[in-house]
């Protein structure tokens, strides 16, 4: 979709918003899949309410992306404008055991920056790609760490109400890969409470998690991490593996040889290839185990 409304286009520069016309979402997602549209890079959080109200007034559909690491976006010309917070170095303010972090910050760099201030607890999240905001929305977790356990406050733009609000951690429910945020909430800043640990101890934890991840996940291939959530008490990866589906493919969408719950784009996979692979694997698992796997990856439907 292209922005043509001249009033809207003129309003963007004063709000500090950069327009990237005809942006390729395939270049902005870790799966390397996604069509084209105009993308608006938001440099100042305070501009969001006005931007969204302008888009609403002009009846322009929009969607928001964080780091694009857990998303499957359709092919072709997309029917939405995309909003994205501009990435920057972790803007971290620390006071005692509390850290205030920009949602657009890279999650991995946030883990290491907190470590340099002797704040741990996030070691398991090292190597989870994406932004702090994306991690919050999904309650990202790995190796016994879930980001939600450390959240004390979130500043969020509630697009439905058009307002920026501060929520206390106790007002948000963080479950396995699920939170109570509304679909159109946009995370802006988070306050985490983290345990004090020595830098060396944290580094040791980081090394162990990195090693585990390197040995079990296809880190050098394009993927969105795990495609399915684990059903209660079971492992989606193990079930898919047991069915002999490693390497199974639809076009260039392929079940990883290393971890069967990672589906990789082995070349020029389309969204349609990836969706067909997801549907086929889900159906085979249902037939063999009587379990319907739920998507972990967020699929945008038109
Ligand atoms: N397994 C297999 N074959 C495979 C993959 C796994 O037999 O191809 C077995 C493993 O040997 C292990 C069990 O299944 O006994 C569980 O595997 P793993 O430890 O790799 O963990 P997982 O349950 O597959 C979860 C998260 C990952 C996270 C790891 C580490 C989900 C859907 N996945 O994977 O998160 O990195 O634990 O904590 O919860 C993600 O969310 O995108 C993600 C990758």
DSSP string, 222-271: EEEEESBPPPTTS-HHHHHHHTT-TT-EETTEEE-SS-TTEEEE-SS--H
pTM > 0.85? yes
Question: What is the rounded distance in angstroms from the CA atom of residue 265 to the CA atom of residue 29?
Answer: 11
pLDDT greater than 90 at residue 133: yes
Letter string b/e over residues 104-115, b meaning 16 or more CB atoms within 10 A of that residue's CB: bbbbbebbbbbb
3-state secondary structure of 9: helix
What are the tens digits of pLDDT across the range 255-264? 999 999 999 9
Angle formed by the axes of helices 199-216 and 107-116, nearest 10°: 150
Nearest CA to ligand 1 atom 40: 226
What are the tens digits of pLDDT across the range 223-254? 999 999 999 999 999 999 999 999 999 999 99
Ligand 1 centroid distance, CA of 235 (Å): 7
CB 9, CB 3: distance < 8 Å: yes
Q: Is the dihedral of CA 37, 43, 48, 53 positive or negative?
A: negative
Ligand 1 centroid distance, CA of 71 (Å): 19
Query: Which phi and psi angles does 301 have, rounded to 5°?
Result: -100, 145
Question: What is the rounded distance in angstroms from the CA atom of residue 193 to the CA atom of residue 94?
Answer: 10
- The predicted structure's pLDDT at residue 87: 75
What are the tens digits of pLDDT across the range 164-197? 999 999 999 999 999 999 999 999 999 999 999 9
Ligand 1 atom, smallest distance to 246 CA: 8
Q: Indicate if ligand 1 lies below 6 Å from the C-beta of 248.
A: no
What are the tens digits of pLDDT across the range 21-67? 999 999 999 999 999 999 999 999 899 999 999 999 999 999 999 99
The four Cα atoms 302, 182, 276, 37 give a dihedral, to 10 degrees, of 40
Ligand 1 centroid distance, CA of 230 (Å): 8
Ligand 1 centroid distance, CA of 213 (Å): 9
pLDDT greater than 70 at residue 88: no
Q: To the nearest whole number, what is the mean pLDDT of the chain?
A: 95
Q: Is 41 exposed, middle or buried (0-12, 13-18, 19+ CB in 10 A)?
A: middle
């Amino acid at each position: 979709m292209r922005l043509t409304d001249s009033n809207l286009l003129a309003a963007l520069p004063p709000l500090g918003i950069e327009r990237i016309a005809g942006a390729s979402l395939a270049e902005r997602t870790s799966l390397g899949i996604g069509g084209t549209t105009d993308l608006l890079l938001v440099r100042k959080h305070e501009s969001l309410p006005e931007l969204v109200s302008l888009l609403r007034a002009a009846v322009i559909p929009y969607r928001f992306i964080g780091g694009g690491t857990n998303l499957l976006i359709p092919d072709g010309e997309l029917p939405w404008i995309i909003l994205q917070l501009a990435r920057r170095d972790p803007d971290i303010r620390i006071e005692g055991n509390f850290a205030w972090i920009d949602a657009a910050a890279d999650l991995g760099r946030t883990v290491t920056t907190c470590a340099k201030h002797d704040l741990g607890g996030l070691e398991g999240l090292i190597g989870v790609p994406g932004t702090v905001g994306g991690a919050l929305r999904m309650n990202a977790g790995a190796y016994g760490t879930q980001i939600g356990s450390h959240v004390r406050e979130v500043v969020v733009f509630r697009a439905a109400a058009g307002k920026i609000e501060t929520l206390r951690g106790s007002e948000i429910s963080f479950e396995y890969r699920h939170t109570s945020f509304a679909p159109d909430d946009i995370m802006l800043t988070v306050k985490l409470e983290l345990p004090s640990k020595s830098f060396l101890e944290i580094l040791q934890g980081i090394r162990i998690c990195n090693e585990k991840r390197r040995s079990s996940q296809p880190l050098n291939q394009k993927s969105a991490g795990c495609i399915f959530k684990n059903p209660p008490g079971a492992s989606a990866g193990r079930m898919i593996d047991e069915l002999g589906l490693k390497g199974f493919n639809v076009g260039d969408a392929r079940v990883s040889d290393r971890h069967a719950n990672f589906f990789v784009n082995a070349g020029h996979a389309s969204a349609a290839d990836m969706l067909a692979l997801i549907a086929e694997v889900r159906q085979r698992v249902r037939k063999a185990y009587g379990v319907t796997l739920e998507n972990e990856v967020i699929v945008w439907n038109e």
